[in-house]
Amino acid sequence: MSQILVVDDEVGIRELLSEILSDEGYQVKLAQNAEEARQQRTRGRPDLVLLDIWMPDTDGITLLKEWATKGQLTMPVVMMSGHGTIETAVEATRIGAYAFLEKPIALQKLLATVDKALAHATRPVESTPAYSLSVLGGGAPVADLKQRLERVRELRVPVLLLAEPGSGEELCARYLHRPNTPWIAADDRMGTSDAHPVPAIGPDATLYLRQVDQWPSDRQRAWFSRLGPLAKAGTRVVATAHPDLPQRVAEGSFDARLYSLLANVTLRVPPLREHADDVPEIATQLLARLVEAREVPVRSFTTAALNALRLHAWPGNLTQLESVIKSAALVAAGLEITTADVVSVLGEQPQANPALLGGLQFDGELREARDAFERAYFEYHIAREGGNMSRVAEKVGLERTHLYRKLKQLGIALPRRQDT
């Protein structure tokens, strides 16, 4: 039975659509605003969304953009409006909407559009990566990386991504890949001998070479002779390597000719600890994807748990973070993942991230530096005490009323409840 989510702020329209669709055998979920729609989307992916454009809190176009940006637009969305224009319909379609219905909606047109949209959703599609670039966050280091990726996206030269493993390097490589063209990821044996040749690769294809810094010398030599003609033909070559690769080239432990060929454009992908402020947003996205894939039960984070994740150093980067989130969601006793759940998976109290506690900026005004330190200080103790504000107040030596006032001044969100 297909599940349809109806999002409309007018109760009469919600009830009418629900009655019609239920009579047709569909399972119907209702949301009266964007926030309720987000919650429904987090609990699981509906097969189809009927989304009103004009809503009081967040309009439908904005919500559609949000889902598209976060990689959550994985179901057909039919926009509805009684005051829509051609420009609005075109914009919605450009973002990713399947169709546009004008109110009042004729019964036959509604049912025909629903049938076509659901049929469209069941068609096989080209395999795509699990996550989009949005999962890297939106902080300054990542914003700078995205700008650089955008600038080289249309260049037909090899690109070398220097990144610690698990930092999102394949997401960046996929971003450089042209849609609807071949994506060829070299395995450990491809190109090493006549028995494992490089397949025929056209000029529109993308050849992805993973962790070239781990290649033995004979494989480096073999690929050097093969990559030249491919690059000249216009094949997009994207390679990844550990950030210490230039040093290895200088030391003579990596083929300088191959490095020169791959490093026409070199981009550095920041490790997670360098944009730790993005961790709560990233964690929320990762959890939503795991819930949607039915790999974990429906869960959400407490504020204290998100702070605990933010403060950790994450030597394994996004790969480690996703693994911890999945485990914490599976062991959580309730609907919320608490600090205790995070600690049980990590096997230790969250370790302070040096980039947060020791990376204060000294170029700004004293007040800004002081606020940054106090923010990190209080978030550290909130995470360490599992969101128990009585213990936090005792640890920092403040009365609770003074503590709450200080947290509000610093813009620190209070836990929705105290973890136990």
**Cα–Cα distance between 419 and 410 in angstroms, integer?**
22
Mean pLDDT over 255-261 rounds to 94
CA of residue 180 relative to chain centroid, distance = 22
Residue 418 has pLDDT above 70, yes or no: no
3-state per-residue secondary structure call for the chain: CCEEEEECCCHHHHHHHHHHHHHCCCEEEEECCHHHHHHHHHHCCCCEEEEECCCCCCCHHHHHHHHHHCCCCCCCEEEEECCCCHHHHHHHHHHCCCEEEECCCCHHHHHHHHHHHHHHHCCCCCCCCCCCHHHHCCCHHHHHHHHHHHHHCCCCCCEEEECCCCCCHHHHHHHHCCCCCCEEECCCCCCCECCECCCCCCCCCEEEECCHHHCCHHHHHHHHHHHHHHHHCCCEEEEEECCCHHHHHHHCCCCHHHHHHHCCEEEECCCHHHHHHHHHHHHHHHHHHHHHCCCCCCCEECHHHHHHHHHCCCCCHHHHHHHHHHHHHHHCCCCEECHHHHHHHHCCCCCCCHHHHCCCCCCCCHHHHHHHHHHHHHHHHHHHCCCCHHHHHHHHCCCHHHHHHHHHHHCCCCCCCCCC
Mean predicted lDDT score pLDDT of the chain: 85
Tell me, what's the pLDDT at 158? Answer: 93
pLDDT digits (tens, 9 = 90+) for 24-78: 999 999 999 999 999 888 777 899 999 999 998 899 999 998 888 776 788 899 9
Distances (CA, A) of 305 to 14, 92, 129: 36, 36, 27
Tell me, what's the pLDDT at 269? Answer: 96
pLDDT band at 126 (very low <50, low <70, confident <90, very high): very low
Tell me, what's the pLDDT at 35? Answer: 92
Tell me, what's the pLDDT at 352? Answer: 55
Residue 131 has pLDDT above 60, yes or no: no
Tell me, what's the pLDDT at 370? Answer: 82
Mean pLDDT over 362-368 rounds to 67
Residue 382 has pLDDT above 70, yes or no: yes
Domains detected in the chain: 3-121 (3.40.50.2300), 133-270 (3.40.50.300), 275-410 (1.10.8.60)
- Between 274 and 387, the higher pLDDT residue: 274
φ/ψ region of 234 (left if φ > 0, alpha if ψ in -120 to 50, else beta) reads left
For residue 359, the tally of other CB atoms under 10 A from its CB is: 13
Residue 262 has pLDDT above 80, yes or no: yes
Mean pLDDT over 124-148 rounds to 74
pLDDT band at 202 (very low <50, low <70, confident <90, very high): confident
**Cα–Cα distance between 31 and 388 in angstroms, integer?**
33
Tell me, what's the pLDDT at 372? Answer: 79
Extract the tokens encoding 40: 């429904």
pTM, two decimals, is 0.64
Residue 129 has pLDDT above 50, yes or no: no
